Amino acid sequence: MSRRKPASGGVAPASPAPRRQAVLSRFFQPAGSLKSTSSPTGAADQADSASSASSAPPASTVVPASAPPQAANTDRRKKRPAENAAPLKKKAKRVQERGGGGDSAVAESGDAEPKRCLRTRIASQSLEKLKEFCCDSALPQNRAQAEPRQGRFEVLPKCTDFEDISLQRAKNAVSSEDPKSKSNQKDSVSGPKSFQKPSDPRALNKRSKSVYTPLELQYLEVKQQHPDAVLCVECGYKYRFFGEDAEIAARELNIYCHLDHSFMTASIPTHRLFVHVRRLVAKGYKVGVVKQTETAALKAVGDSRSSPFARKLTALYTKSTLIGEDVSPLSKLDDGAVGVDEVTTDASAGYLLCICEDKDSAKGKRKGSVFIGVVAVQPATGELLLDAFQDTALRLELETRLCSLQLAELLLPERLSESTEALVRRAAASGLRDDRIRVERMDNVYFEYSHAFQVVTEFYTKDPVDVRGSQSFSGIINLEKPVICCLAAIIRYLKEFNLEKILSKPEHFWGSATHRKPTQTAPPRKVQMSAERLLSGVEALSASTRGSPTDGPCSKECARNFKQLSSEMELMTMNGTTLRNLEILQNQTDGKSKGSLLWVLDHTHTAFGRRLLRKWVTHPLLRLSEINARLCAVSEVLGSESSVFAQIESLLQKLPDMERGLGSIYHRKCSTQEFFLIVRTLCHLKSELQVLMPVVNSHVQSDLLRMIVLEIPELLSPVEHYLKILSEQAAKIGDKTELFKDLSDFPLIKKRKDEIQDVTAKIQTHLQEIRKILKNPSAQYVTVSGQEFMIEVKNSAVSCIPPDWVKVGSTKAVSRFHSPLVVESYRLLQQLREQLVLDCNAEWLRFLESFGEHYHSLCKAVRHLATIDCIFSLAKVAKQGDYCRPMVKEERKIIIKNGRHPVIDVLLGEQDQYVPNSTRLSVRMSVTAVDSSAGNRTPVF
């Protein structure tokens, strides 16, 4: 029990003993004992109470529940050195004099107990000062009692945060001098987490200056221009991510992310850039690559020698625009450390589709009906499709276009109708995470017709065009309004990636269906007839259609892929429901290709052949002549005994994706390795097919095959010239300075190399003077760690080195020097070498521009190769089972004897449980039966 004498002199009532608490140390007592001494006068009050009750323990101590802890504390105090006792007594007296001028004294009973109480009170006073500095926990009554003495503790003001004392003093001084300064002080504080010091100008300037490094400022500048892109910034031998981009890279790429200065950062090595960029793009991100645009030697003599290396955004990538040297898979196939699966994934094979609605042009003004225009472009292959159609509230026509194309990205305005938005959401969520369609939104202003017409006009009239080009341009501007709006939006979008060049020559893209009226999906009867032909293993249909005559300005040979997405004259368009129910492209079980019609028919060898076969399956032919020509080609491959087809098929094996490679070259985004691989492959095909031309003329009976094979060598004739110019060894390692063997067409490179040769000869001539100075006729230049033209001298002979020579490095045995002439000449040589690299890069782009003039003829040759590949694929299917060639006539009848479903027949395999069906279908009679043998339901018409 402890008693305390109040200030009035009365006796305080008895209170129960506090609960036992752990004592942290002899200076910091438990919290229960601190409540009685929460003011600076607590020690004096305890001294007064000690004079009346000396036998009781002081108020500031804790009465233990048992004696051993107290004895232990006493023993520890007795172990203190004796010489510390006298200063402790003097300190206690000074405390008593400050507290009350000797009004109360400490009772000393001759034992050590009063000394223990004195040390406790001193520790309590120190703790009180710390408490008032660190926390605001004093009770109101104690603060009232301590008011006369609180002035001496103004140097330790109370604060609620980790603010330094000088800052708090300044705040108190300002508040006591001028009441208006409080408002100024509040204005200077930007927030609870960014406290500033208004009274300290130096501190304010220190806070207000930039906290970012020069590299971070460069990143912020580029990020402000491209806020929606994940930026990879080149920093020496690695690429770095900053801020939120680093967190995204760490999450998606499974790499380490940490705080570095002002931003979170992560990094990847330079040689793995193409892998990580493709992984981020596959997950739906827009990725930008920021590279250094300055070199060390040229920067040292420039005006920006003291600033960091200049950097700028050199490339942007999304799912549909994954074209460039940084992500080119063809240039990485020779790298042994790179897996084939990492580089052969065709990530950019999908289309970029733009959709625009025109509600004012809707016919009938039915609820939910709308007039829609679409433009689809495949930048990797250069294919561009367009269409305009009337659609109902169910959006069946738009769904048909979405299902027939292999979409990678959708370019949409900010606002579309509810029905269209719902369809877009379903399409974007249909695939897996890495295969989902990426959706890009653009402001509605860019889809307004007035703005779009101006953009299209400026784009196609910036360069002078001939009569043929002007006719093509007049056909483009006469397209439907929503199509013009989509075309303008795609032009603006592709400019961001420097891929708009693929749209710049409309005379090469003109298709025979460009001027046709908006198309509709084929009627159900026509779809059923086409599906029956497909199920019989033939992509053909005998049907008569009516349409307006072709009025395009170009012949069919000049037509490229700028054509309508659906055509009533040439191809059939099956709606999305038909494609799903017939499982043309994927099965309905797990959405994969296995179990679909395309899975059965696809035996192609090349990537470009596989893409063409998909078009054949989704858009069957309608013209009888074209159907019979394709059937004759398949029959020719099946029945011919000549070895020419086997030789041609062997040429198609292990070919790279030349269609994508030519697109990369046309956009001037290819590497030297990729260019050399494509050109060498085309030259090899040309030479091999040229040898087979006599045999093809005499043995091939199919007009389609003979025409295709004979045209390819002529179309590939320009590539030989470009292959002769290149050095194979330099192309494979990517050395552009030694890439061109004949410099007659590159005078700038020749001039720069001559200057380098002159400087090098000057340095070599100077070696004779060095030998005379050193009196060493065998002295030679040495190169160590990239430093060239160094003279190596033993450390014992360093005294003979002239004083104006520059010491470059040394070891325990030798020292290496540069003479003054070598220093000057070597600096000039490095500048010329770096300038040569820049000149070679410029000439390389000009070289690609020259090659791009033959792009369309080379693409036509590649399409011929794709056609041959598809015909060989269909012939392989015909060899597998008891297939027969159908007889296609103008009569509208379908007669099938013992027909078998091609997909189910393959899936059942050797079980042979499928029952064949016979069909006889004419105009007057239509019977539908369902065969459910082996648990499989097959519709029979």
Predicted pLDDT of residue 232: 96
**Residue 483 CB-density burial (10 A; 0-12 exposed, 13-18 middle, 19+ buried):** buried
Give the helix/strand (H/E) hosting 898. Answer: strand 894-899
List Cβ neighbours of 934 (8 Å cut-off, separation of 6 or more).
908, 911, 913, 914
Q: Is the pLDDT of residue 454 over 60?
A: yes
For residue 536, the model assigns a pLDDT of 39
pLDDT (0 to 100) of residue 186: 38
Percent of the chain whose pLDDT exceeds 90: 41
Q: Is the pLDDT of residue 532 over 80?
A: no
- On the question of pLDDT at 24 being above 50, the answer is no
CA atoms 339, 343, 344, 347: torsion sign: positive
What SS3 state is found at 305? coil
Side by side, the strands of the sheet bearing 787-794 are 781-784, 787-794, 814-818, 806-810
pLDDT surpasses 70 at 482: yes
Query: What digits encode the pLDDT tens for the residues 375-411?
Result: 999 988 888 888 899 998 889 889 888 888 888 999 9
Higher pLDDT, 356 or 178: 356
Say what the pLDDT of residue 858 is: 94
730: how many CB neighbours lie within 10 A of its CB?
Answer: 17
What the block records as the tokens of 362 is 């809707």
Q: Angle at which helices 418-428 and 396-404 pack, to 10 degrees?
A: 30
Backbone angles phi, psi at 899, to 5 degrees: -75, 145
Selection from 13-27, 52-66, 600-614 with the highest mean pLDDT: 600-614
**pLDDT for 35:** 42
Most confident segment among 520-534, 874-888, 912-926: 874-888
As a whole number, mean pLDDT of residues 932-938 equals 48
Average pLDDT over residues 25-33: 46
The confidence score (pLDDT) of residue 925 equals 55
Residue 111: is its pLDDT beyond 70? no
Q: What is the mean pLDDT of residues 465-472?
A: 60
pLDDT given for residue 120 in this prediction: 56
Tokens for 690, please give them: 């040229």
H or E stretch covering 922? none
> What pLDDT was estimated at residue 367?
79
CATH of domain 351-515: 3.30.420.110
Alpha carbon distance 914, 545 (integer Å): 36
C-alpha closest to that of 563 among 483, 453, 491, 449 = 483
What's the confidence (pLDDT) of residue 65? 42
> Where is mean pLDDT largest: 157-171, 322-336, 673-687?
673-687
* Residue where the block lists tokens 């007795």: 78
Q: Using 50, 70 and 90 to split pLDDT, how confident is the model at 434?
A: low
707 and 701 Cβ atoms separated by less than 8 Å? no
pLDDT at 551: 36
Residue 921 or 601, more confident: 601
DSSP state of 641: -
Residue 173 neighbours by CB under 8 Å, 6+ apart: 199
Please report, for the chain, the start and end positions of each structural domain, with discontinuous segments joined by +. Answer: 31-153, 165-208, 214-344, 351-515, 747-850, 894-940
Evaluate if residue 180 carries a pLDDT over 50. Answer: no
| Residue 247: HSE in the Cβ half-sphere, 13 Å Cα cutoff | 5
Classify each residue of 28-46 as buried b or exposed e, where b means 16 or more C-beta atoms within 10 Å of its C-beta.
ebeeebbebbbbbbbbbbb
pLDDT band at 7 (very low <50, low <70, confident <90, very high): very low
Rounded Cα gap, residues 750 and 736, in angstroms: 13
Structure tokens belonging to residue 718: 């320009």
Phi, psi of 928 (to 5 degrees): -120, 125
E strand segments, 249-338: 258-260, 263-269, 286-292, 311-317
Q: Which residue has the tokens 């330094």?
A: 164
Position 705 pLDDT exceeds 80? yes
Q: What are the tens digits of pLDDT across the range 754-767?
A: 999 999 999 999 99
Residue 3 has pLDDT above 80, yes or no: no
* Contact of 602 with 610, CB cutoff 8 Å: yes
Asked if the 214-344 domain carries CATH number 3.40.1170.10, the reply is: yes
| Backbone phi, psi, residue 181, to 5° | -70, -20
| pLDDT > 80? residue 595 | yes
**DSSP H or E run through 401:** helix 396-404
Strand-pair partners of 791 = 781, 817
Q: What's the average model confidence in pLDDT over 738-743?
A: 92
Distance CA 232, CA 42 (A): 64
Q: Distance between terminal CA atoms of the chain?
A: 105
Average pLDDT over residues 591-605: 89
**Residue 654 — pLDDT band, cuts 50, 70, 90?**
confident
Give just the sign of the alpha carbon dihedral 10, 11, 12, 18: positive
Whether residue 605 contacts residue 649, with contact meaning beta carbons closer than 8 Å, is answered with yes
Predicted pLDDT of residue 5 = 44
pLDDT band of 310, cuts 50, 70, 90: confident
- Average predicted confidence (pLDDT) for the chain: 74
Q: What is the pLDDT of residue 300?
A: 72
Q: Is the pLDDT of residue 687 over 80?
A: yes
- Across residues 863-873, what is the average pLDDT? 95
| Residue 928 pLDDT > 70 | no
Give the pLDDT band (50/70/90) at residue 276: very high
- Please tell me the pTM assigned to this model: 0.69
270-284: average pLDDT: 91
What average pLDDT does range 784-811 have in this prediction? 92
Cα atoms found within 13 Å of the Cα of residue 552, Cβ hemisphere only = 24
Q: What is residue 673's predicted lDDT score, i.e. its pLDDT?
A: 92
State the average pLDDT over residues 797-812. Answer: 92
**pLDDT score for 518:** 41
In this structure, what token pair is assigned to residue 512? Answer: 């025979």
For position 324, what pLDDT does the model report?
83
Write the CA distances from 919 to 253, 278, 597, 893, 895, integer angstroms: 56, 50, 20, 10, 6
Q: Is the pLDDT of residue 915 over 70?
A: yes
Instruction: Give the Cα separation of 759 and 36 in Å (integer).
Output: 90
- For residue 603, name the pLDDT band (cuts at 50, 70, 90): very high
CA atoms within 13 A on the CB side of 786: 1
Q: How confident is the model over 642-661, as a mean pLDDT?
A: 91
Identify the residue whose tokens are 């009365």: 10
pLDDT for position 62: 41
pLDDT at 417 over 50: yes
Residue in the structure block whose two tokens are 């007009």: 703
What confidence score (pLDDT) does residue 767 get? 94
pLDDT recorded at residue 565? 58
Please tell me the least confidently modeled range out of 320-334, 390-404, 847-861, 884-898: 320-334
Within this chain, domains 214-344 and 351-515 share the same CATH topology? no
Query: Which CATH fold would you assign to the domain 747-850?
Result: MutS, DNA mismatch repair protein; Chain A, domain 3 (1.10.1420)
**Longest CA span, the chain:** 134
Query: What are the structure tokens assigned to 354, written together?
Result: 């733009």
Inter-CA distances, 22 with 3, 29, 36, 60, 81, Å: 22, 8, 17, 15, 26
Range in 161-170, 239-248, 855-864 the model is least confident about? 161-170
Tens digit of each residue's pLDDT (9 = 90 or more) over 123-174:
667 667 666 655 544 444 444 344 444 444 444 444 444 444 444 444 444 4
Average pLDDT over residues 898-902: 83
pLDDT band, residue 309 (cuts 50/70/90): confident
Q: Which distant-in-sequence residues (6+ apart) come within 8 Å of 740 by Cβ? A: 725, 726, 727, 746, 749, 843, 847
| pLDDT of the residue at 357 | 92
Q: Identify which of 428-437, 580-589, 779-788 has the greatest average pLDDT.
A: 779-788
pLDDT at 739 over 50: yes
Contact between residue 410 and residue 438 where contact means Cβ atoms under 8 Å apart: yes
Residue with tokens 């030789």: 647
Worst-scoring range by mean pLDDT, 152-161, 397-406, 489-498, 697-706? 152-161
Q: How far is CA 495 from the centre of its chain?
A: 18
CB count within 10 Å of CB 349 equals 22
DSSP letter (8 states) at residue 651: H
